[in-house]
Amino acid sequence: MSVNFVKCNSVLITGTSRGLGLQMVKHLVGISERPKKIIATARNPATAQELQQIAKSHAEVHIVPLDVVNDASIEAAVQKVSSIVGPAGLNCLINNAGIAIMSDLNSETRDGMMKTFQCNTISPLFITKAFLPLLRAAAAVCDGGAMSVNRAAVINMSSVLGSLQLNWGEGAATKLHGYRVSKAGLNMVTRSLAVDLQPDGILCTVVHPGWVQTDMGGKQAPLTPEESISSLLAVVSAE
């Protein structure tokens, strides 16, 4: 299966300063079947050196500031993105930005759980709501087309750590309560959005990238960002 976004006009990715978000941008600019517009958002673009370097040599990459937990930042990003994509709208929104606060039952705090829930669960819902007019515009352009990233889609980065079903037997673990709860909640946010947006022809789904060597995943993770993202983007872009 290969990555093919050639029929997709525009993709927006949150949290592209490093890790898997940055790898998505790197992968997309490296293939000929790339989207026409790659909107790479970061909460502090000035410090995202590698992303800045990529944008310098790839005119299709547009860097837009976006702090996913800040409503004013979301509103400003919508205005900017609207002027980038125009009447064609936004085809694919990838809610990738996330945090994980290392914790166990002893060290977990209310504040830590709330911060994690804000970023990982609530923000994808409110970002999707904010970008909905642009997603609807894209879906309407190919009215009647199959639901896919080539029409309009919301892809949320979840994790197997949010699965109730998998937290049994050998997979059972007790750490990271806040992170696990946030991703379980994200799964339901996504399922609810899928029901809400199905009449508009907007696909909503979650993906798990595997356990990957990033700041969050750590060096002991089995997958490299390249391995994870090449497979993830192939799945997401499959028709």
Ramachandran category for residue 176: left, alpha or beta (phi over 0 → left; psi -120 to 50 → alpha): left
Angle, helices 177-197/110-117, rounded to nearest 10 degrees = 30
The SS3 call for residue 11 is: strand
Under DSSP, the state recorded for 139 is: H
Among 8, 9, 67, 151, binds ligand NDP (CB under 6 A): 67
Under DSSP, the state recorded for 120 is: I
Among 214, 229, 236, 237, binds ligand NDP (CB under 6 A): 214
User: Is the four-CA dihedral 100, 106, 108, 109 of positive or negative sign?
Assistant: negative
Query: Smallest distance, Å, CB 102 to ligand NDP?
Result: 12
Q: Which residues pair with 227 in a beta bridge?
A: none
Measured from the CB atom, the residue of 89 and 209 that comes closer to ligand NDP is 209
What is the Cα–Cα distance from 65 to 43, expressed in whole angstroms? 5
97 binds ligand NDP (CB under 6 A): yes
220 binds ligand NDP (CB under 6 A): no
Q: Which residues pair with 40 in a beta bridge?
A: 13, 63
Query: Smallest distance, Å, CB 126 to ligand NDP?
Result: 12
By CB under 6 A, which span of 31-39, 62-70, 81-89, 230-238 interacts with ligand NDP?
A: 62-70
Measured from the CB atom, the residue of 52 and 142 that comes closer to ligand NDP is 52
Among 211, 224, 230, 234, binds ligand NDP (CB under 6 A): 211
190 binds ligand NDP (CB under 6 A): no
Whether 160 contacts 210, CB under 8 Å: no
57 binds ligand NDP (CB under 6 A): no
Q: Which residues pair with 155 in a beta bridge?
A: 94, 205
68 binds ligand NDP (CB under 6 A): yes
Query: Smallest distance, Å, CB 219 to ligand NDP?
Result: 11
Q: In 101-163, which residue ranges form alpha helices assigned H by DSSP?
A: 110-117, 123-141
Name the token pair of 139.
């879906």
Q: How many residues bind ligand NDP (CB under 6 A)?
A: 28
CA 85 to chain centre: 18
Over the window 134 to 163, marking each residue x when it contacts ligand NDP by CB under 6 A and - when it does not, the resulting string is: -----------------------x-x----
- List interacting residues with ligand NDP (CB under 6 A): 14-15, 17-21, 43-44, 67-69, 96-99, 119, 157, 159, 208-209, 211-212, 214-217, 221
